[in-house]
Homo-oligomer: A and B are copies of this chain.
């Protein structure tokens, strides 16, 4: 993820591999303690036992560093097999909410999204590292539901991809909004209500088509 070293990759001392991991871990630790706006790259470097120059050699700035540090968190998400589509969705929503309850994700994620509204390269980095990377969960869930006969198989591939995007926006959007904006609890009651509306909506809308 960090900017690669001198392209030819030959001469000179190679970059320390350990430094990358230490920097990302230090970034998350600093996010927990200080939040995004009080996080400074000098402090991250100190925590990582690394010079500031080393950090700037690998990432262009705070935003890109935080994207990479946060992106790793979402790779922990797994789609549990609970027997039904509804239960699977409830499971993944709870996991997602649990990650968003962690301070390093809370303040980091929204902040880089805010920055990305004025920086196209950053928006792409977020899309590639976080958004598109987690759409796998929607694909897996749908495939599993189709195998169980809960959903009909795909016909139109364009329509199919559009549906994945929509579902991802609805699920991720609702959870993010609940956790971070309206700041209500993501408990069993809320998750069950949300899943019920979503499943009904998918069945209803799909059936009408």
Contacts and interface: CB of A to CB of B under 8 A. Distances in A.
Contact of A177 (B35, B106, B115, B176): B176
A208 B36 CA distance: 44
Chain A interface mostly: helix
A29 B50 CA distance: 33
A155 interface: no
A183 interface: yes
Interface in A149-207: 162-163, 165-166, 168-170, 172-178, 180-184, 189-190, 193-194, 196-205
A53 to B, nearest CB: 11
A127 B183 contact: yes
A193 to B, nearest CB: 5
Interface string A108-143: 011101111110000100110001000000000000
Contacts of A196: 201, 204-205, 208
Given A36-B115, A110-B111, A166-B190, 8 more contacts: A109-B114, A110-B114, A113-B114, A116-B183, A170-B170, A172-B177, A197-B204, A198-B201
Interface of A: 35-37, 103, 106-107, 109-111, 113-118, 123, 126-127, 131, 162-163, 165-166, 168-170, 172-178, 180-184, 189-190, 193-194, 196-205, 208
